A = this chain, B = another copy of it.
Amino acid sequence: MNDQGNIPTAAAQQLAEMGLEGFPPYLMNRIMGRYNAAVRQEMAVQGLTTPQMRSLAVLSVIDGILIRELAVYTVVPQSTLSRALDPLARDGLIRRVTDAEDSRATRVFLTDTGRAAYNRLWPHLTRANEAMFAGISDTEKRALIGTLKTMLRNIRKHDF
């Protein structure tokens, strides 16, 4: 390979791809780029943005957390997240409550309407995930999850 305009051969491309594919962050960015785009499309049909869908998903398992915690779990900047929550509150899917211990902090709760909405979304969300794991055994998937959990503990800045 040089910079004189030679087109790389298929074999050279394969070799080079093996190089890229030995680097996990490359693989994970490629995978999540596709997964998130698929979910974004599915959610747009349902009238929701990705931060809104992720908020419903996180609250369905950890209800009543602080907005700043929800921002970490959803991987969405807090200012973006606050704006995304406005329509969910307006439509009665969530309730925002001032924290009992800190009047500057807000907790977010899923309402029954919100939980029902999330239960309707879930089949659409699992589709992209199941497609991604086609041909991968439960054992292999469990091992992947175990390694990913260690990686998250290594790299996260919060204690959750």
Contacts and interface: CB of A to CB of B under 8 A. Distances in A.
A82 interface: no
Given A24-B132, A24-B133, 10 more contacts: A3-B112, A7-B64, A21-B149, A21-B152, A27-B148, A30-B73, A31-B151, A133-B151, A133-B154, A143-B143
Dominant SS among interface residues on chain A = helix
19 contacts: A2-B63, A3-B63, A5-B100, A7-B64, A7-B107, A13-B62, A19-B61, A23-B129, A24-B148, A26-B57, A27-B151, A28-B35, A31-B155, A34-B155, A34-B156, A128-B155, A135-B150, A141-B147, A143-B147
Interface residues of A, number: 73
Interface in A108-160: 109-112, 128-129, 131-136, 140-141, 143-145, 147-152, 154-157, 160
- The oligomer's copy count stands at 2
A31 B28 contact: yes
Contacts of A45: none
A113 B29 CA distance: 27
Interface of A: 1-8, 12-13, 16-17, 19-36, 38-39, 57-58, 61-65, 73, 75, 95, 97, 100, 107, 109-112, 128-129, 131-136, 140-141, 143-145, 147-152, 154-157, 160
